[in-house]
Amino acid sequence: MAKHEGVKTVVVGGKKGTQQQYCGIVGGQSTDFSTIDTEIKTTHLKNHSLAPPDLRVNGVQGITWRLGFGITNPTEPEEWQDHPADVNLPVSGNLVNNPLAIWEEVVRRVFA
């Protein structure tokens, strides 16, 4: 929507002085390891030879397939392309854990 329709994008947080990028899954299908692993265990297939081993790290593994090709560069997936945010909203003490304050700040910067 940002590239095709001109929708404004806002990134909250990030390194000060560094252009932040927005991201998402464009035209693809995605899931994550824990969802697939839960389904495998629920169906009692964890001992199957094709079942993946347990993920033994404190992390998340996302899985995406059928990526959508880009709007400005249709020769490569959109996820590989540049996505600079229109507004980089640094996190401050009054914004931390305060979604309403974040939204009010976005409204002030983008819509006022």
Total tally of structural domains belonging to the chain: 1
What is the Cα–Cα distance from 32 to 74, expressed in whole angstroms?
26
58-77 per-position pLDDT tens digit: 888 888 776 788 888 999 88
pLDDT attached to residue 25: 67
Asked, for residue 57, whether it belongs to a domain, the answer is: no
Query: Is there a domain that residue 49 lies in?
Result: no
Residues 34 and 40 sit within 8 Å (Cβ to Cβ): no
End-to-end CA distance of the chain: 21
Is 61 a domain residue? no
Q: CB of 62 within 8 A of CB of 32?
A: yes
Q: Which residue has the higher pLDDT, 28 or 90?
A: 90
Q: Per the structure block, which two tokens stand in for 38?
A: 């839960």
Identify whether 55 is part of a domain: no
**CA–CA separation, 103 and 112 (whole Å):** 13
Q: Residue 63 has what pLDDT?
A: 81
Q: Which residue has the tokens 């001992």?
A: 47
Residue 29 belongs to a domain: no
Answer whether residue 52 shows pLDDT above 80: yes
Domain that holds residue 2: 1-24+82-112
